Structure 1
Amino acid sequence: MVEAKLFAGLLSTPLLLLLFLSPSDYRLIPALGPADAEVHPSNFSTFPPPVSSCLVRGGAFKGFYFSLGYLRGVERKMGVDSGSEVDDFPFFSNASSVHHASNTTTDQIYPIPAPRNSYHCYSGGCFAVVAHLMDISLDDILAIGLDLQQKWMKGEISRFDIVSKFIDEVLPTNPNTPLRESLKNQLNIITSTTALQPNIQKPTNFSSIKKLLVQTSWIPGVTGNSLFVDGAVDGFLSSYKHPVFKEELAEQPWDLSGFKISMSKEDAEDAYRFGYEIAKNNSHAIC
């Protein structure tokens, strides 16, 4: 029955198209990590979420870069609106992000106004939110992604390995690293249960972030090698029962080519720039 319900859910969504792409998707993740990662299911009696919450959807590789650019564009606009003396938000940064060799953080290179929203996300949208809240530069994201892409093309890793390895590169290697306050207070990850019901959880440490990123991007046969991982599956599959959010991040126009792991660096940069410019120039962009 569970398998039938999941299959029915896939048939009712555009995700079915992904099953015919080889290889595909940016949400890439295999089963990994202990099942006891600490998570706190949200209290659904608080439905709907606070008005300050912003929904960030998935959208394949291009959707990830578009959402990241959009979030950065909003922060740029907020800085200008608040009178902050911040030059135009750099498209690239030569600064090393917080978990790389240099001790210089992107915060020290260009100040970013503190986000005013909490975020609810699923699928690849969560990767954009995590990268944004950790102030990881586009340069670093592209370097990690392109390195994994080359390893996949050479047959050194499978498509089921890519997201797991991407997370390992993005998150601190020391599991005892304190969680940034922005991640602790503003990040809410939506996964789907085996009954295709939404489960909103707030991470408490980097281990739980990794576990939840795996779960919310798990698409059987595309990013996952089984129907479920630790009793969960892609957060999109329960979207028909998600709470109603007052604020929603603009969506990248639908484009099947954005699901390909072999997406070029130029396409990634274009998607990022597109999202950034839309947000920066939209007076109504608030999340």
Structure 2
Amino acid sequence: MSAATTARPAWPGKPKPVVSAAKAVAVVVILLLVAIPFWLVLATSISSDRQVMADGGWSLWPDRIDLHAYADVLNGGIIGHAILVSAMVTAIGTVLSLASTTLLAYALSRPNVLGGKPVLLAILFTFLFPAGMIPSFLIVTDLKLTGHLGALFLPVMINVFNLVVMRGFFQGIPEELYEAARLDGAGELRTLLRIVLPLSKAIIAVVGLYYAVAYWNDYFRAMLYLNNSSADQLPLSTVLRGYLTSTNAQSETGEAMLTQAPQKTIAAIVVMGVLPIAAAFPFLQRFFAKGVLTGAVKS
């Protein structure tokens, strides 16, 4: 038997100092690439106007804390409405998406369900070959959803990736629990509510976070389907895009959204756009790895 065959695999051994140092350097570099831009935006948003102008538009370290930009942003106006619209769309869309994804994933996870395999293949086909923007726009137009906030979440209520991950998680639940529920006289709905969902907190938290991030950050659908609406109906991400793309941005209706907004105000809006998701993630982090890994075991 050759030495290569009897050699111990590389992963049980202790890594070499060079490898450990390279990993540490890579982690530090990635951390800096993520932290420095966010800190630059945060520091600019809380710096004084004079310091921002003196530093050329972006401040690395504030000389004093100045929260006037946040006060101006939250003091009504289009930004206040945009935050409320984004929060409403995210909340309603996430609840509807979680409910519909959970019901469909549970149905597809059960063996011998009527039409389960053809439906699953059809769903996976849409994942591999999406319809595209034009058919989606035509469907939304035919349903008369243009100009309504429902166009931001109803057409994308079920994400195929989230559906497959949740279905895999449900398939990983021991079959003995389903059989015990049937022996106790529980139907499918009661089994889902009393047994499956309490065991699926991890995957529900992960999928809910995926949906919430997608709805909160989506700006393109509002541009596409709310182009004839007033600026008060636009979500925060779409308004922020207006700030970033033009110093004198206007909505599609011609109403002035911004008039030469300073970098400090832009930075404050960016921070407010990132803060809700960043604040929710630490509370869901303990579910994150467990939900994704468990849901990926079977499909």
Fold agreement, TM-score > 0.5: no
Higher relative contact order (CA 8 A, sep 6+): 1
Larger % of strand: which?
1
Larger % of helix: which?
2
Q: Between Structure 1 and Structure 2, whose CA radius of gyration is higher?
A: 2
